[in-house]
Amino acid sequence: MQPSTAVDTANHPLPDDLNGWALFIDIDGTLIDLAATPESIVVPPELPSQLMKLSQKADGAMALVTGRSIAAVDAMFEPYHFTVAGLHGAEIRRENAEILRKGIEAAALDRPRMMLQKFASRWPGMVIEDKGLGLAVHYRQVPEAAIPAAHAVDGLVKDLGYGWKRQDGKMVIEIGPAGTNKGIAVAHFMETAPYAGRKLLVMGDDLTDETMFRFANETGGRSVRVGDPPFESIAEFKLDSADTVRSWIATMVARQ
């Protein structure tokens, strides 16, 4: 099924009334525009408060689902602390409660961290992002390093053994905990209030979002892809850009 690009009121993939919806939104490439490095992204100053209002209008049934750590998300959207599935679901925070993390030791990444930094030194422009329970190799500024980076990550994942996996995204390859993904995280949220019983809406832009698209499709929800990825997506609907998502949020929170 080809993604729909309809934007009229009747067929727009994003609802004009949040009553009965549960919202799960990716961050990079979906809420905010992608940048050369993770640190150089720009969060529009009005977005944090708009997200809080959006959550309130959805009766709290909104969560951010991201590859970033929860600590990084909090820094991006301060002073607000949202419900978040971080590190592609390896850590979860429900309604400002204690963070639940995958039961693995971050110290296992000490050697991979050192090896990746050494590897990156041979590729000016490559960025190694340390997520605590994960490591990300960003090669957006050196696309010719894609294959060598994949080989380096594959070797380290093999050495780490059980409990770890390789995760690919847009111009990034990650090492992270196995047995987790965004789809599993969304399923976890949907089992309990305030999400249970609501119609599911998921929004994302990257390969890592395909698992939550699949879960939404299989459970009668709505899957919305943002932008044009370099792969065939299973999302049912398509939006042009993160700016379109932000415009929708601004419209929704401005309504009385």
CA–CA distance, 30 with 243 (Å, rounded to integer) = 8
CB within 8 Å of 213: residues ≥ 6 apart: 183, 202, 204, 223, 225, 233, 234, 235, 236
In 3D, which of 51, 9, 16 has the Cα closest to residue 30? Answer: 51
Q: Which residues are catalytic?
A: 26
CA–CA distance, 185 with 216 (Å, rounded to integer) = 12
Let me know: does 195 contact 18? Beta carbons within 8 Å: no
CB within 8 Å of 211: residues ≥ 6 apart: 181, 182, 183, 184
Over the Cα atoms of the chain, what is R_g?
18
CA–CA distance, 74 with 87 (Å, rounded to integer) = 13
Go through 23-48 and write b for each residue having 16 or more CB atoms within 10 A of its CB, e for each that does not: bbbbbbbbbbbbeeebeebeeeeebb
